[in-house]
Chains A and B, each alone.
Chain A
Amino acid sequence: NAGVTQTPKFQVLKTGQSMTLQCAQDMNHNSMYWYRQDPGMGLRLIYYSASEGTTDKGEVPNGYNVSRLNKREFSLRLESAAPSQTSVYFCASSEGYTSGDSYEQYFGPGTRLTVT
């Protein structure tokens, strides 16, 4: 099992360029998430998908869009990259949500994005 995979691992963009970060999981999880990690800070939730066909905004959604392509894949798109979006991006997945269950989120290896 590969777990959660992300592509690319590194990316450099110029301001205004667009790109899509790809994420896939092979654990048959229902829920998927996108986080960003800035220096000196913990991870902050950008968007999440509770189940296939649904997406919702997290804490810092501005400047991003997401697509839950199918149960396995959840992509994050930057339409017009800005230097403030320079960060490390993590995708995660979990079985889902059931009240009373302490589900674990499994994380991908991250994508380091630099916007110049």
Chain B
Amino acid sequence: AQTVTQSQPEMSVQEAETVTLSCTYDTSENNYYLFWYKQPPSRQMILVIRQEAYKQQNATENRFSVNFQKAAKSFSLKISDSQLGDTAMYFCAFREDSSYKLIFGSGTRLLVRP
């Protein structure tokens, strides 16, 4: 069965610094997609970044980038120049190419300190 593991329940970072959130997953498939979603206190789920497994280049979106290690089944999120508005729960999610199902990790609560 596919699983997504986020081993850091909570993290804290000083404003303007860099933080990395970890995610590992398990699958026997070769084609799949990985996502990081942000959930601020408003509860709204917001897509931060996505990565296609067939792409070797790591995805970047402004201050957000990923380190995708396919062999290690690792997909970490790096947030540069952290801002107070980055305070939120962050969920890693996974979907196999052959499935509709989006599987979520348990989340990492990130606090950005002023």
Contact between B106 and A42 (Cβ–Cβ < 8 Å)?
Answer: yes
Q: Which residues does chain B contribute within 8 Å of A44, judged by CB atoms?
A: 104
Task: Given A31-B100, A45-B101, A48-B100, decide whether A88 and B106 contact each other with a Cβ distance below 8 A.
Answer: no
Residue of A nearest to B53 (CB): A102
Residue of A nearest to B93 (CB): A42
Task: Given A42-B4, A102-B52, decide whether A109 and B97 contact each other with a Cβ distance below 8 A.
Answer: no
Point out which of A43, A48, A97, A99 has the most chain B C-beta atoms below 10 A from its C-beta. A43
> What is the count of residue pairs linking A and B with beta-carbon distances less than 8 angstroms?
55
Contact between A102 and B43 (Cβ–Cβ < 8 Å)?
Answer: no
Smallest distance from the beta carbon of B102 to chain A beta carbons, Å? 6
Q: Which residues does chain A contribute within 8 Å of B33, judged by CB atoms?
A: 102
Residue of B nearest to A102 (CB): B33
Q: Which residues does chain B contribute within 8 Å of A40, judged by CB atoms?
A: 9, 106-107
Assembled-state Cα–Cα distance A33/B101 (Å) = 9
Q: Which residues does chain B contribute within 8 Å of A45, judged by CB atoms?
A: 101-102
A58 located at the interface, meaning its Cβ lies under 8 Å from any Cβ of chain B in the complex? yes
Which residues of chain B in 63-90 are interfacial with respect to chain A, using CB atoms and an 8 Å cutoff? none
Q: Which residues does chain A contribute within 8 Å of B45, judged by CB atoms?
A: 43, 90, 92, 107
Residue of A nearest to B98 (CB): A99
Assembled-state Cα–Cα distance A97/B44 (Å) = 23
Contact between B43 and A110 (Cβ–Cβ < 8 Å)?
Answer: yes
Point out which of B35, B43, B91 has the most chain A C-beta atoms below 10 A from its C-beta. B43
